[in-house]
Amino acid sequence: MILPATPTAGGDASVPSQSPPAQSPGDDLIELLFFAYRDFVGDPDRILAQYGFGRAHHRVLHFVDRYPGLTIAELLDILRITKQSLNRVLKDLIEQDYIVQKTGTSDRRQRLLFCTARGTALAGDLIRVQTHRVTRALAEPAGAASEGGSSEGGAVSAQNFLLAMIEPEERATVRRLMARRARSAV
């Protein structure tokens, strides 16, 4: 099966769909997750750029820092990328002395990964800005964000958390956008 199968109503008309999309309780969370993640990775990105590294380097550095002795296979399973993709960034990090490899003791085929002091320092800087954002989000007074949200179970706190993860100056914009949808969906 390669193409559509058009599950819903594969319209072919080049006509603007008039019906507004159906609403579902988790819909806000979907968008909030996008915005939260966008800003969440934005902080480290700025630091990484100063080192000539990217997001891929960050992920490798982070997990090796948090879980010293990680093997290549474990890392591949965590990141869900191919060996070739991993090797490209891992090579950078090893050549520039952020990470070292040590041959496994019980299984000498394995390469156990460790951060050097330099690697730990950078990983620390990166996790610091992210921890700051998360900690602030957790400390935010509940409801400082959602206002008139429908309270159902854990939905509210998950929603609050994600909204609080968004860059403060951007929250108004996001809230305004999402309000726009709520209005038109009446």
Partner DNA sequence: CGGTTTATGTCAGTGTTATTGACATATTTC
Partner DNA sequence: GAAATATGTCAATAACACTGACATAAACCG
Contacts (Cβ under 8 Å, ≥6 apart) of 175: 145, 147, 163
Query: From residue 141 to residue 180, what is the string marking binding to DNA with x (rule CB under 7 A)?
Result: ----------------------------------------
61 interface partner picked from its own copies, DNA, none, CB below 5 to 8 A per type: none
81 interface partner picked from its own copies, DNA, none, CB below 5 to 8 A per type: DNA
User: Residue 100: helix, strand or coil by DSSP?
Assistant: strand
The stretch among 89-97, 139-147, 148-156, 160-168 that binds DNA (CB under 7 A) is: 89-97
Nearest approach in angstroms of CB 25 to its own copies is 7
To 5 degrees, how large is the angle CA 97–CA 90–CA 78?
125
Q: Which of residues 48-87 bind DNA (CB under 7 A)?
A: 52-57, 59, 71-73, 79-85, 87
Query: From residue 94 to residue 133, what is the string marking binding to DNA with x (rule CB under 7 A)?
Result: -------x--x--xxxxx----------------------
93 or 174: CB nearest DNA: 93
57 or 62: CB nearest DNA: 57
Contacts (Cβ under 8 Å, ≥6 apart) of 17: 11
User: Residue 102: helix, strand or coil by DSSP?
Assistant: strand
Q: Quick one: which of 36, 61, 64, 89 contacts DNA (CB under 7 A)?
A: 89
Instruction: Count CB atoms within 10 A of the CB of residue 50.
Output: 7
Nearest approach in angstroms of CB 45 to its own copies is 11
C-alpha 135 chain-centroid distance: 16
Q: Are 57 and 48 in contact (CB under 8 A)?
A: yes
Q: How far is CA 62 from CA 11, 19, 28, 34, 170, in A?
A: 45, 45, 29, 21, 27
